[in-house]
């Protein structure tokens, strides 16, 4: 937990934060509405004796009382998908609509991709990309189990993603759920901080900036880009969005989020960020008893 | 918003060989199926019409179920069903989901397609008890009675009836309960063989 000391000045009730980070997380699943309604899924859980709790902020997010969520009937039928509660946030902020063209730049292993497809009623085009072929095979397996038919799966480096395979030249929306230092997954992976270093944050941030810029370039004017990570480091969050504001035509916009959260930072170390970054959301583990997360919503302006 | 999609499926005109002979299938890319057998330009390729007919004739799935989908072939006989936009041919990793294996005597639907589109099926659906469903899901073959056609069947069970179908009081009959497809089974000689792929098999445990 030592690396987290650098966040003492920016996190309210820092002791509660540390304490939450030490507690393991419950087993959360998302209801896959491509295959079953929330009511139907709950009926199966009740019939098969799996106790559950529904999240206040999102009726499609359930916490199950089982150690093996993959061995339930709801999982076999593709009604549920194991997905941490906060990781259901960014697809909701993206708010994709049926019939749209959407890019998921770092899609594997497919939880958010299939959530995007579900929010679109599985109608439209979701281009699910990842640079890692092994992780893409997990995405394909998961997508088929969940019955998603609107995905086109690509294996490219998102930083210089080519639209060439397709006959359209821009997306309506894009999600950049970026590879990151994963500090916020500490409750799930206790060794998440093992290889932590400031150098690592900076090198990952370089990749994140490249992917976010490409997402803005490939999204139409007036379209939406959501940037998210599961980390607390401002170098990988506000600083990445700040870089996009300085280099691409976009602005940070406000969004509703029914989970308790903190505003994005306006400065870190010696760097000042645009005041619009306070519209971004930082979700800390002690606020809702979840993992940690960062989400920013951008509108493309040219 | 998404652009308009052309009616039906068609292969690119550029694929038409000058001699009028059929071309060979190219295994590494996705090609959209021709609308009908008459428009076929690639040797042995199934048409959209044949695929839809198969699901209708064998399982009673209404043809209009697939109105908003296109069908594609990649590899030898693997058919994919897709709801989005794409030009044909296209070289990407996947398009929609695999739904059917063709280019063999008996076409075989995939487990995941049967789970996705099987709820519309009326024929060749074998209903399993919970115990039988558990064995099927675990990949086990079992001896079962079945009066219908042999061959590939949709194995299904009743589970989690929708609230409106639930009994109002204990002891009332459950109405409106529909069967939920588990996957594909091969029925021959009094035995239902589970063909759920290894990676998809699960030992499902009920708490009760």
B168 interface with A at CB cutoff 8 Å: no
Looking at residue B165, its pLDDT comes to: 52
Nearest to A226 by CA among A300, A176, A159: A176
Domain with CATH 2.30.130 in chain B: 124-207
The pair of structure tokens assigned to A172 is: 């309506």
Cα–Cα distances (Å) from A49 to A43, A74, A188, B206, in that order, read 10, 11, 25, 7
Of B83, B98, B200, the CB nearest to A150: B83
Half-sphere exposure of A75 (CA within 13 A, CB side): 23
B137 interface with A at CB cutoff 8 Å: yes
Looking at residue B4, its pLDDT comes to: 41
Looking at residue B125, its pLDDT comes to: 97
The pair of structure tokens assigned to B135 is: 């064995």
What is the Cα–Cα distance from A253 to B121, expressed in whole angstroms? 46
What is the Cα–Cα distance from A130 to A3, expressed in whole angstroms? 29
Angle at alpha carbon of residue B4, lines to A301 and B5, rounded to 5°: 135
Chain CA centroid to CA A158, Å? 16
Rg (CA), chain B: 20
Minimum Cα–Cα distance from B96: chain A residue: A149
Residues 3..42 of A with a Cβ closer than 8 Å to B: which? 34-37, 39-41
Residue B17 pLDDT greater than 60, yes or no: no
Chain A hits for B112, CB-CB cut-off 8 Å, are 78, 144-145, 147
Of B90, B116, B162, the CB nearest to A165: B90
Provide φ and ψ at A200, rounded to 5°: -60, -45
Looking at residue B10, its pLDDT comes to: 47
Residue B177 pLDDT greater than 90, yes or no: no
Residue B171 pLDDT greater than 50, yes or no: no
Looking at residue B14, its pLDDT comes to: 41
B164 interface with A at CB cutoff 8 Å: no
Three-state DSSP string of B57-118:
HHHCCCHHHHCCCEEEEECCCEEEEECCCCCCCECCCEECEEEEECCCCCCEECHHHHHHHH
Q: What would the mean pLDDT of B199-203 be, rounded to a whole number?
A: 96
Nearest to A9 by CA among A276, A277, A266: A266
Higher pLDDT, residue A105 or B208: A105
The pair of structure tokens assigned to A221 is: 């004017």
Minimum Cα–Cα distance from A72: chain B residue: B204
CB pair distance less than 8 Å for A73 and B159 = yes
Chain B hits for A76, CB-CB cut-off 8 Å, are 137, 182, 202, 204
Q: Quick one: what percent of chain B has pLDDT higher than 90?
A: 75
Looking at residue B25, its pLDDT comes to: 87
Please, which pLDDT band fits residue B24 given cuts at 50, 70 and 90? confident
pLDDT tens across B86-99, in order?
A: 999 999 999 999 99
The pair of structure tokens assigned to B144 is: 């079962």
The pair of structure tokens assigned to A1 is: 């937990």
Please, which pLDDT band fits residue B167 given cuts at 50, 70 and 90? very low
What is the Cα–Cα distance from A121 to A140, expressed in whole angstroms? 18
A78 interface with B at CB cutoff 8 Å: yes
Higher pLDDT, residue B147 or B164: B147
Taking the alpha carbons at both ends of chain A, their separation in whole angstroms is 42
CB pair distance less than 8 Å for A152 and B182 = no
The pair of structure tokens assigned to A237 is: 């969050």
Chain B hits for A43, CB-CB cut-off 8 Å, are 160-163, 166
Contact call for residues B26 and B5 (beta carbons, < 8 A): no
Chain A hits for B166, CB-CB cut-off 8 Å, are 43
Looking at residue A293, its pLDDT comes to: 98
CB pair distance less than 8 Å for B84 and A48 = no
Please, which pLDDT band fits residue B19 given cuts at 50, 70 and 90? low
Q: Residue A239: which H helix or E strand, with range?
A: helix A238-247
- CATH number of the domain located at residue range(s) B124-207 in this protein: 2.30.130
Looking at residue B162, its pLDDT comes to: 58
pLDDT tens across B38-84, in order?
A: 999 999 999 999 999 999 999 999 999 999 999 999 989 999 999 99
The pair of structure tokens assigned to A245 is: 């504001």
Mean confidence (pLDDT) of chain B? 87
Q: Which residues of A are catalytic?
A: 230
Looking at residue B1, its pLDDT comes to: 41
Chain A hits for B115, CB-CB cut-off 8 Å, are 35, 77-78, 145, 147
In residues, how long is chain B?
208
Interface test with chain B among A27, A149, A170, by most B beta carbons within 10 Å: A149
Q: What would the mean pLDDT of B104-108 be, rounded to a whole number?
A: 97
Chain A hits for B207, CB-CB cut-off 8 Å, are 48-50, 66
Residues 132..171 of A with a Cβ closer than 8 Å to B: which? 133, 136, 140-141, 143-145, 147-155, 165-168
**Cα dihedral B126/B128/B132/B135 (nearest 10):** 60
Q: Is it true that the peptide bond before A138 is cis, omega within 30 degrees of 0?
A: no
Minimum Cα–Cα distance from B203: chain A residue: A71
Contact call for residues B50 and B63 (beta carbons, < 8 A): no
10-residue mean pLDDT series, chain A (302 residues): 95 98 95 96 95 96 92 97 97 98 98 98 98 97 98 98 97 98 95 94 97 98 98 98 98 98 97 98 98 98 95
């Amino acid at each position: 937990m030592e690396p987290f000391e650098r966040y003492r000045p920016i996190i309210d009730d820092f002791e509660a934060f540390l304490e939450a980070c030490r507690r393991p997380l419950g087993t959360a699943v998302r209801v896959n509405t491509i295959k079953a309604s929330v009511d139907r899924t709950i009926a199966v859980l009740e019939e098969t004796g799996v106790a559950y709790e529904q999240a206040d902020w999102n009726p499609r997010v359930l916490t199950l009382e089982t150690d093996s969520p993959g061995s339930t009937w709801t999982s076999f039928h593709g009604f549920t998908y194991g997905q941490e509660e906060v990781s259901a946030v960014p697809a909701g902020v993206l708010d994709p609509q049926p019939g749209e063209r959407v890019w998921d730049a770092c899609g594997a292993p497919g939880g958010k991709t299939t959530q995007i497809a579900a929010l679109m009623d599985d109608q439209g085009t979701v281009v699910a990309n990842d640079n890692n072929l092994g992780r893409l095979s997990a995405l394909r397996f998961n997508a088929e189990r969940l019955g998603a038919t609107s995905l086109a799966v690509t294996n490219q480096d998102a930083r210089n993603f080519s639209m060439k395979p397709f006959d359209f030249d821009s997306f309506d929306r894009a999600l950049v759920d970026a590879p990151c230092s994963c500090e916020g997954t500490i409750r799930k992976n206790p060794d998440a901080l093992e290889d932590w270093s400031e150098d690592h944050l900076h090198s990952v941030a370089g990749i994140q900036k490249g992917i976010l810029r490409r997402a803005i370039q490939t999204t139409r004017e007036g379209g939406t880009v959501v940037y998210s990570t599961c980390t607390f480091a401002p170098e990988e969050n506000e600083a990445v969005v700040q870089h996009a504001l300085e280099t691409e035509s976009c602005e940070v916009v406000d969004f509703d989020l029914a989970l308790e959260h903190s505003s994005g930072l306006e400065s870190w170390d010696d760097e000042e960020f645009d005041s619009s970054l306070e519209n971004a959301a930082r979700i800390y583990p002690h606020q809702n008893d979840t993992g940690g997360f960062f989400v920013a919503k951008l509108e493309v302006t040219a | 918003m998404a652009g308009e999609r052309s009616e039906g499926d068609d292969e690119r005109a550029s694929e038409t060989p000058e001699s009028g002979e059929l071309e060979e299938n190219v295994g590494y890319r996705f090609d959209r199926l021709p609308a009908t057998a008459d428009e076929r330009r690639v040797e042995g390729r199934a048409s959209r019409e044949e695929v839809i007919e198969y699901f209708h004739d064998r399982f009673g799935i209404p043809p209009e179920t697939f109105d908003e989908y296109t069908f594609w072939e990649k590899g030898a006989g693997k058919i994919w069903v897709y709801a989005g936009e794409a030009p044909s041919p296209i070289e990407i990793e996947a398009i929609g989901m695999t739904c059917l294996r063709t280019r063999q005597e008996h076409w075989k639907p995939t487990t995941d397609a049967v789970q996705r589109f099987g709820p519309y099926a009326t024929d060749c659906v074998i209903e399993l008890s919970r115990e039988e469903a558990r064995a099927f899901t675990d990949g086990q073959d079992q001896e079962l009675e079945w009066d219908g056609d042999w061959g590939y069947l949709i194995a299904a069970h009743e589970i989690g009836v929708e609230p409106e179908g639930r009994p109002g009081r204990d002891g009332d009959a459950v109405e409106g309960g529909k069967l939920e497809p588990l996957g594909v089974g091969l029925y021959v000689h009094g035995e239902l063989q589970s063909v759920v792929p290894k990676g998809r098999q699960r030992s499902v445990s009920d708490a009760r």
